[in-house]
Chain A
């Protein structure tokens, strides 16, 4: 059981501006500055529909303890200009408690902002930029916000140096002077950070996609093939320059049909292999995912979900590829589906996923999503973990020629021969086959191999990794079930209720398939069950009910993307559901 961590010391900041105004860079600098000063932070970014040059915004939440979700509203919002700001009204909620600072050398304050009752501070950054050659408004904004927060100047300058390292001395000098000037621009106010306790241990600045990629490296992935797609591209972009210096390589595939088949080929060749994609690419990969299952070739497919169907919401988050990941393949295709719960968990769960694929010689799908993948946070370093999950490989023995690739062993996992081993020549086949791999459409062979493929996946002991349980599940009256990126806000909601005396606990699944039905059933028996998920139709809830893990009386809070399922909303739902 995990202990609750109340984040009473936190502050939220957002920055917005037209494309090229540097709102995102300002966010990255602030996040890094906070880290340098000994704090934690979480950053999400939003952009308008334009490919390049459209308006963009960052929303940051800082604390002196780990934080991985956005605040309800912005304490400080800095508008570099008001270009397209109305697009972010949902993502950047302003209230009468907010302080809005804006550069008045562009558009006037929009009525929608004035009407929130937020405290408004105007600055003229054009004058400032004109007076300092080579400077940009966003650096002044960073200085202003840092000062308001009570963030030490040297922490910001250090971050600036790290981020602008490659841009050259001149740019760095101008930016640091602008930050300094911004820092002295507004009058002194009580700064939130004065009350905080900094930490001194090493932390990581990492996005969910980077975390998945690191997990794959830790697990020993040596080959990745992919075709670019938002929001999954960063995974392979991270891997490409690193894998080739780590005994592996990345192939740019001509499409996702190729990507998954290349990965299967790489794995057949003996190297742990993967691909990463999002909805449309995932759909294209489905046929070959079935091939990996039938031919028993280990492969990891990461799906960083976005809103669908079709091209859907390419840059926005949703948990709606669940049904497809579970049941998308034709025929009966037992495999494994896992989902990380937060950024640190992306490292661990991806490592686990690769291990499962290798050990069970099958397809593992890892479902992340845009929110998890593209958010960045300052987190505690993720300790390395060892899973004793390795591919069972046929030994090289001279003269031996009686290899049965698909032999039925007690654990249903048969040693895999790696090309080059004279003792183990065989043909991997997507056609149904006999124990030797010879194509066969006989009922007995089909049944035998169906059972083998199912048994190795369902009889395996997944240990404690299958779920995260928070607050006393055994003794509680209400169980909230969730998965994926919704975990953080759900946990926050449950935590608040729990600390208010409500008998509620949380169960967040990491292993979605094979569903640990009996375990879930035991934990939920006789309790009120509430399922929280980011979908319109309640896919997760239907799945749990369909498998008999929870009763038909369970309630669902299902909300489609792209809006975040906020902790207040979740809390209100649980409250209402439990009052009647």
Chain B
């Protein structure tokens, strides 16, 4: 829960001195703001945060937060984050990226991160486009959106991240809107505090390649969905939503994968096994 006691921290305490390369008005700025706000509310020491990202405009966020960051390769942030968490359960590992990074090239890791249910927070800045490579359709793009690469639209059904996360075993599934700063910060706080794999899918307009997405600021509904741990109910809400609802669609107490280790053996013990 949001900590209020003691001295208040400002979100700026979590901003690095690297200036974002994002276009003016890009929805990703709001995510950076909401994330730093959430961290400030939680007062997590900067050095206890591991922020791992892939490649894309959204994935640049790891350089903008004052923490231990890793800006890796396209699509593999969840795997790198899982490795970090495996050896450093003490760290708050947050993985972030875009819809292309997470649902397309990194799709397999997304499935397995959900089913592994490690205690990670996964923030996806879904602008329904590949921003960084200048406007190609992504897995969440609507089938009739026309672009250079697909002049007539892709004609391919959209990927349903929340539905897939639910089916794959994620224990916290939420959707937020870049336009609702406070609500989004709250969702991120809940996600970080949740024990298990938390997906926060955020609708963030790409003002450059999909200016029409600015309408999301009006069309996205403020948080109205209340958490349930009933999978059937969650499935109904996810599949019944027109995509403009925000809130926690599913939150359950599921077994969390965290490799355990002890120090009961010595190298001599292992060497003995070979002896004849």
Known A36-B276, A217-B270, A266-B84; 19 more pairs at CB < 8 Å: A32-B276, A204-B275, A223-B87, A243-B261, A246-B263, A246-B267, A247-B263, A251-B82, A251-B259, A257-B76, A258-B79, A265-B70, A265-B85, A268-B84, A381-B275, A384-B267, A426-B69, A439-B21, A439-B63
In whole angstroms, how far apart are the Cα atoms of A161 and B199 in the complex? 53
In whole angstroms, how far apart are the Cα atoms of A92 and B12 in the complex? 72
Within 8 A of A (CB), among B47-78: 47-48, 50-52, 60, 62-63, 66-73, 75-76
Complex interface: stretch among A11-19, A414-422, A485-493, A529-537: A414-422
Question: What sequence of 0s and 1s flags, for each residue 267-311 of chain A, a beta carbon within 8 Å of any chain B beta carbon?
Answer: 111110100000000000001101100010000000000000000
Within 8 A of A (CB), among B5-52: 16, 18, 21, 45-48, 50-52
By a CB distance below 8 angstroms, the chain B residues around A420 are 47-48, 68, 88, 90-91
For residue B242, CB closer than 8 A to chain A, the reply is no
B91 and A261 within 8 A (CB): no
Q: Which residue of B lies closest to A220 (CB)?
A: B267
Q: Which residue of A lies closest to B77 (CB)?
A: A261
B13 to chain A, nearest CB (A): 12
A244 and B260 within 8 A (CB): yes
B30 to chain A, nearest CB (A): 21
B45 and A261 within 8 A (CB): no
- What are 16 inter-chain pairs, A to B, with CB distance below 8 A? A204-B275, A217-B267, A218-B267, A222-B87, A245-B265, A246-B267, A249-B261, A251-B82, A254-B109, A261-B79, A263-B83, A268-B50, A268-B83, A421-B47, A422-B45, A424-B47
Give B contacts to A, CB under 8 Å: 16, 18, 21, 45-48, 50-52, 60, 62-63, 66-73, 75-76, 79-88, 90-91, 108-109, 111-112, 259-267, 270-271, 274-276
A248 and B261 within 8 A (CB): yes
By a CB distance below 8 angstroms, the chain A residues around B67 are 425
Question: What sequence of 0s and 1s flags, for each residue 60-97 of chain A, a beta carbon within 8 Å of any chain B beta carbon?
Answer: 00000000000000000000000000000000000000
By a CB distance below 8 angstroms, the chain A residues around B108 are 254-255, 257-258
By a CB distance below 8 angstroms, the chain A residues around B79 are 253-254, 257-259, 261-262, 265
B276 and A425 within 8 A (CB): no
Residue from A35, A225, A264 having most chain B Cβ neighbours under 10 A: A264
By a CB distance below 8 angstroms, the chain B residues around A248 are 87, 261
A264 and B275 in contact (CB under 8 A), knowing A223-B86, A270-B88, A430-B71?
no
A249 and B86 in contact (CB under 8 A), knowing A204-B275, A288-B73, A291-B72?
yes
B83 and A225 within 8 A (CB): yes
Residue from B82, B111, B262, B276 having most chain A Cβ neighbours under 10 A: B276
Q: How many A-B pairs with Cβ below 8 Å?
A: 195
Residue from B48, B66, B270, B275 having most chain A Cβ neighbours under 10 A: B270
In whole angstroms, how far apart are the Cα atoms of A426 and B90 in the complex? 18
A438 and B47 in contact (CB under 8 A), knowing A247-B262, A269-B87, A426-B69?
no
Closest 3 CB pairs of A and B: A265-B83, A427-B69, A262-B83
How many chain A residues touch B (Cβ–Cβ < 8 Å)?
67
B256 to chain A, nearest CB (A): 14
By a CB distance below 8 angstroms, the chain A residues around B260 are 244, 249
By a CB distance below 8 angstroms, the chain B residues around A245 are 261-265
B66 and A246 within 8 A (CB): no
Residue from A202, A265, A271, A290 having most chain B Cβ neighbours under 10 A: A265
B84 and A244 within 8 A (CB): no
A28 to chain B, nearest CB (A): 12
A265 and B91 within 8 A (CB): no
A266 and B48 within 8 A (CB): no
A270 and B70 in contact (CB under 8 A), knowing A258-B109, A262-B82, A265-B79?
no
For residue A358, CB closer than 8 A to chain B, the reply is no
By a CB distance below 8 angstroms, the chain B residues around A36 are 276
For residue A212, CB closer than 8 A to chain B, the reply is no
For residue A205, CB closer than 8 A to chain B, the reply is yes
Residue from B75, B261, B274 having most chain A Cβ neighbours under 10 A: B274
For residue A513, CB closer than 8 A to chain B, the reply is no
By a CB distance below 8 angstroms, the chain A residues around B262 are 244-245, 247
By a CB distance below 8 angstroms, the chain B residues around A267 are 83
In whole angstroms, how far apart are the Cα atoms of A263 and B276 in the complex? 34
For residue A179, CB closer than 8 A to chain B, the reply is no
B130 to chain A, nearest CB (A): 17
Determine which of B60, B73, B275 lies in contact with A430 in the assembled complex, contact meaning CB atoms within 8 Å.
B73
